[in-house]
């Protein structure tokens, strides 16, 4: 039995998220079915985190246990061939220790949110950015974002369907940068609540539009009430960037 660490890239648009679902296709199911067909084994893939419907992955880390003797090259190439034409790609494979776990060994997760801030709608990046035609005040958004960094009760920014035991999370970084016609929002933490990034981005967009003041972000946070949330951003612009491990 070999435990393989995999790096997985995917377009989330046609999927119900990473986790296998009874009511639609998922990235996990696509990957598991491919490796099962390749090996003839009952396969279970574990990932560093879950993603919502429509959320993309630049470099999701996952692992799988396989009894069949394989090389990293054969596992990667075989899985990719059997997943076509689904927009999922295994970009790297390596053997790891039997006690290494994609989720439980992870000490940090990074997300990127892309806002296309121009009048014209996207043609090539439709479904991969959140298009906001109104010019946004990035400086005000950055001031609002500063209220969210640190350890807080993020109940306001947590989905009512979140399964986490506690709303307390430590947000290490929430940074904004302008890249051409896009505004990039990067979030870093050990772990996130369900919808946390999308909820934070949605409220920052309200600040950028002038509908909220930067301090309204603090007030929403301190309310500890989902009803205080101003807006939940769509999944289109959200990307799981990478997972962090002690040996990386």
Q: What is the CATH number of the domain that holds 120?
A: 3.30.70.660
**Residue 171 CA from chain centroid, whole number:** 15
52 belongs to the catalytic site: yes
Are 50 and 139 in a shared domain? Answer: no
23 pLDDT more than 90: no
123 pLDDT more than 90: yes
Are 62 and 119 in a shared domain? Answer: no
Residue 127 belongs to a domain: yes
Domain boundary among 38, 65, 96: 96
Are 117 and 83 in a shared domain? Answer: no
Segment among 28-32, 49-53, 211-215 with least mean pLDDT:
49-53
Residue 102 belongs to a domain: no
Q: How many domains does the chain have?
A: 2
From the list 193, 187, 149, 147, the residue with the least C-alpha distance to 168 is 193
Are 225 and 123 in a shared domain? Answer: yes
User: Which listed residue (52, 65, 236, 248) is catalytic?
Assistant: 52
Tokens, residue 68: 């069949």
Are 135 and 236 in a shared domain? Answer: yes
Domain boundary among 51, 71, 96: 96
pLDDT tens track for 137-161: 999 999 999 999 999 999 999 998 8
Segment among 14-23, 88-97, 197-206, 224-233 with least mean pLDDT:
14-23
**Rounded average pLDDT over 57-76:** 97
Are 184 and 150 in a shared domain? Answer: yes
Tokens, residue 242: 């990478």
Domain that holds residue 181: 108-244
Residue 103 belongs to a domain: no
């Amino acid at each position: 039995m070999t435990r393989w660490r995999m790096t997985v890239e995917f377009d989330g648009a046609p999927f119900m998220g990473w986790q296998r679902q009874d009511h639609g296709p998922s990235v996990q199911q696509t990957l598991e079915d491919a490796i099962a067909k390749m090996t003839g084994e009952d396969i279970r893939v574990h990932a560093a985190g879950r993603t919502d419907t429509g959320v993309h992955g630049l470099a999701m880390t996952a692992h799988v246990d396989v009894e069949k003797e394989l090389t990293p090259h054969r596992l990667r190439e075989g899985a990719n061939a059997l997943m076509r034409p689904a927009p999922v790609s295994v970009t790297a494979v390596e053997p790891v220790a039997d006690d290494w776990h994609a989720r439980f060994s992870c000490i940090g997760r990074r997300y990127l949110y892309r806002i296309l801030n121009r009048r014209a709608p996207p043609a090539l990046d439709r479904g991969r950015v959140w298009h906001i035609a109104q010019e946004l005040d990035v400086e005000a958004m950055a001031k609002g974002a500063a209220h969210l960094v640190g350890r807080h009760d993020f109940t306001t920014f947590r989905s009512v369907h979140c399964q986490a035991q506690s709303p307390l999370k430590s947000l290490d970084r929430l940074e904004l940068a302008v890249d051409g016609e896009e505004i990039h929002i990067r979030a870093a933490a050990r772990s996130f609540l369900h919808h946390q990034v999308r909820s934070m981005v949605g409220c920052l967009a309200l600040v950028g539009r002038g509908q909220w003041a930067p301090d309204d972000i603090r007030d929403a946070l301190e309310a500890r009430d989902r009803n205080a949330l101003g807006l939940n951003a769509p999944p289109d612009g959200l990307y799981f960037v990478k997972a962090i491990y002690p040996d990386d």
